[in-house]
Structure 1
């Protein structure tokens, strides 16, 4: 089982690559790697990114989006990594702009996935906020690979195009007894400022 850190976005709203923004003197991607590593769940943690910023990471392994799927969003990163590591039982996907993800959340979601994997033949298990799925904090089975490939060759590169066509289930974020910001995306500089203020309290 491997973890995929999606770090290939343009970060236009943030103004700079989010992967290298910092909280408590740790870059986002480093912080997430440390959390994933402490779970002792993954035999490999992979960064998925683009060719423009790949040299800025002090880490290995890194997978660059396949050129044929360049600029096609998170699906390109997931698919390219699945192709690079094709023999995994499960893939955990986490967006790099969710740097406050916790071990507890990952472990709970894994248990949820395993409980539903056999009986429900679940393909994707992720979190949801209210009725809104969060497919960038989710486990994906290898069966999703072909559906992702189909989406990438269509005009709809959305994650919804994948999870709505597969067996998926979602664990409510409120099931995790952690500060509410653990699953929040940091999209703007003011989001980061707000998070830092909360952490200081």
Structure 2
């Protein structure tokens, strides 16, 4: 089952019993086949990709949790909250990771980022949180391209997530469609709209690190 860890502020533990307003979730359990090694440990400007994701979330969240697979868990430092998928849904993709984070950390909403967006900044995540409306899920799109894992999830989505996983429905976009997710224009979330493509770039190979 998902590790029953207390959520940690960036370097400080939060109470197990505390209900947080916003928890940050870094999804860092992908297989990274095209990248050639675990993307969480790719490096940009001297910092691991997962550290860049934590850096983008920590200033605007009450706690941050990293969801990874068992084989990588010991590579993360002890001062961070790191969990693996719930025992019933191990290795079932991003929805399992988000569900597992919700089980491990009590919060009203969850700001989710994949670990493979090393150009993301806390300014952008702050704007995303501010722009998120009353929908149970809010995610980003840039033109015709959707970024469902750059998203804000209400705790009300815990049960729909469980039902989707139990039903073998693992596609994030399918669940967002069912939840009538709100899609925000990513170009409005960055200080310079011309920089949006870079900020929201999913890095799948080292060649894509060129700014």
**Alignment TM-score, normalising by the size of structure 1:** 0.87
Q: Across the two proteins, how many residue pairs are aligned to each other?
A: 185
- Selected match of 2:157 from 144, 158, 161: 144
Offset from partner CA, 1:89-108 (integer Å, 9 cap, x none): 11000000011112221111
More strand by share: 2
User: Structure 2-normalised TM-score?
Assistant: 0.83
Q: Do 1:47 and 1:62's aligned partners in 2 also have CA atoms closer than 8 Å?
A: yes
Give yes or no for the alignment of 1:169 onto 2:182. yes
Deviation at 1:133, TM superposition (A): 2.5
| 1:44 Cα offset (Å) | 0.5
**2:125 counterpart of 1:106:** yes
Structure 1 range deviating more: 170-179 or 97-106: 170-179
Gap regions ≥5 residues in structure 1: none
Give the SS at the match of 1:143: helix
1:190, CA displacement in angstroms? 1.8
Root mean square deviation of aligned Cα: 1.3
In structure 2, C-alpha distance between the alignment counterparts of 1:127 and 1:34, rounded to whole Å:
19
**Counterpart in the other structure of 2:99:** 79
Q: Does 1:8 align with 2:8?
A: no
Match for residue 198 of structure 2 among 181, 185, 192: 181
Correspondence 1:32 to 2:63 = no
**Counterparts of residues 121-136 of structure 1 (less than 5 Å):** 122-136=135-149
Q: Indicate whether 1:159 and 2:172 are aligned.
A: yes
Any idea what the Cα deviations from partners look like across 1:134-187, whole Å, max 9, x if unmatched? 111110001111111111112320101211111311111221234230111001
Q: Is 1:151–1:161's contact at 8 Å kept on the other side of the alignment?
A: no
Counterpart of 2:88 (choices 68, 73, 79) is 68
The answer (yes or no) to whether the contact 1:90–1:142 under 8 Å persists in 2 is: yes
User: Which residue of structure 1 lines up, in the alignment, with residue 3 of structure 2?
Assistant: none
- What corresponds to 2:65 in structure 1? 46
> Unaligned regions of 5+ residues in structure 2, if any?
1-21
Q: What secondary structure, in the 3-state scheme, does the structure 2 residue paired with 1:33 have?
A: helix
CA contact (8 A) 2:139 2:183 kept: yes
Deviation at 1:56, TM superposition (A): 0.7
Judge conservation of contact 2:57–2:111 (CA < 8 Å) in 1: no
